[in-house]
Every structure is written in C-alpha cells, then in structure tokens.
C-alpha cells in the first residue's frame, strides 16, 4: 500500500512550482540536464546569495544539491503548522563549499531558506505513483442493453 505524504497548506503553491520545475528538467534522453541546471543555479546563487529572494522554488532548486536534510527525524515534527527556522535547523547539514552562501541567506532571508528546506524535504519524500482509485459506489451503470430510451429526446 502506498503511503501518502500530506503537504501542509502553507507549502502547496511553492511546492507545485518546485515539483513542476524539477520534473520538467528530469529528461531521460538528457540525464545531465537537471544536474547541470542545478549546478548553474547554485553558481549564480554563490555570486549573489540573495538572488532568489522571494522565489523560494528557485532557491530550493539552487541549494538542493548542497544541503542534506535528516528527513527521518524532521518527519517527527508536526509540520501541519509552519515551524520556525530554529525548529528545523538542527535537521539540516550544509556542504562545506556552500556554507558562506547559506549563512548569508540565513542571515538575510531566513523565511525563504526555511521554506526552501521544507520544499526539498517534502519533494524527497514525494511519491508520484498514482494512488489506486477507490470504488465509486455511485458509478454509472451501462444500460446500453436496456430499452429505456426516450425516442423523443
């Protein structure tokens, strides 16, 4: 049985954009496309750490390869209500080459960084496999065999 990850309401819009961007760049015919794009985004971010201020989906993409989230333990937090940065910070590790950049973002755009971390967390746990449809107890009955048609309709 497939588990369902419930996305908190405060993340739905940003998550939708993040998911769409990540999926659009995940091309089986060009497997390096996503990786190259994420590398390019981070290089831009390193030059201007506040480049994606207000564009949380782009920030999440740019830092996604430079952070490590302890999703197992982060999942123990109640995330239905938006947590503070202090609550999620202990579950985030930053690669050495990204520390200065992430520190700058944390200092000046903490909310965006927190949201970007949560987007990555939920994306990593996201299962795109369609859920099995439940039986519709009011399903239309195919009555093509019956003679209940109104000829004057």
Q: How far apart are CA 91 and CA 89, in angstroms?
A: 5
Per-residue pLDDT, 125? 86
Taking only the tens place, the pLDDT of each residue in 71-84 is: 999 999 999 999 99
The answer to whether 94 and 67 are in contact (CB under 8 A) is yes
Per-residue pLDDT, 126? 78
Taking only the tens place, the pLDDT of each residue in 19-54 is: 999 999 988 899 899 999 999 999 999 999 999 999
Q: How far apart are CA 110 and CA 58, in angstroms?
A: 15
| Domain extent listing, the chain | 9-125
pTM value? 0.79
Per-residue pLDDT, 28? 87
Query: How far out from the chain centre does Cα 123 lie?
Result: 4
The answer to whether 42 and 62 are in contact (CB under 8 A) is yes
Buried-state track 103-128, b at ≥16 Cβ within 10 A, e below 16 = ebbbeebeebbbbbbbbbbbbeeeee
Q: How far apart are CA 83 and CA 85, in angstroms?
A: 7
The answer to whether 23 and 63 are in contact (CB under 8 A) is no
Taking only the tens place, the pLDDT of each residue in 101-145 is: 999 999 999 999 999 999 999 999 876 655 555 555 555 555 555
Q: At what angle do helices 110-125 and 56-63 cross, to 10 degrees?
A: 70
The answer to whether 119 and 56 are in contact (CB under 8 A) is yes
Per-residue pLDDT, 153? 45
Residue showing tokens 């239309």: 140
What is the pLDDT confidence band of residue 1, given thresholds at 50, 70 and 90? Answer: very low
The answer to whether 56 and 11 are in contact (CB under 8 A) is no
């Amino acid at each position: 049985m497939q588990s369902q990850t419930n996305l908190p309401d405060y993340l739905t819009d940003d998550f939708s954009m993040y998911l769409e961007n990540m999926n659009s760049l995940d091309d089986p015919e060009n497997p390096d496309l996503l990786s190259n794009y994420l590398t390019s985004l981070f290089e831009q971010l390193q030059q201007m750490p506040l480049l994606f201020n207000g564009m949380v989906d782009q920030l999440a993409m740019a830092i996604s390869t430079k952070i490590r989230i302890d999703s197992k333990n982060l999942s123990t937090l109640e995330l239905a209500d938006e947590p503070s940065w202090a609550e999620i910070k202990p579950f985030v590790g930053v690669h050495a080459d990204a520390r200065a950049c992430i520190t700058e973002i944390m200092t000046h755009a903490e909310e965006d960084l927190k949201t970007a971390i949560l987007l990555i967390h939920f994306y990593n746990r996201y299962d795109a496999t369609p859920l099995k449809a439940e039986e519709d107890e009011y399903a239309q009955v195919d009555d093509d065999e019956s003679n209940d048609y109104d000829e004057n309709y």
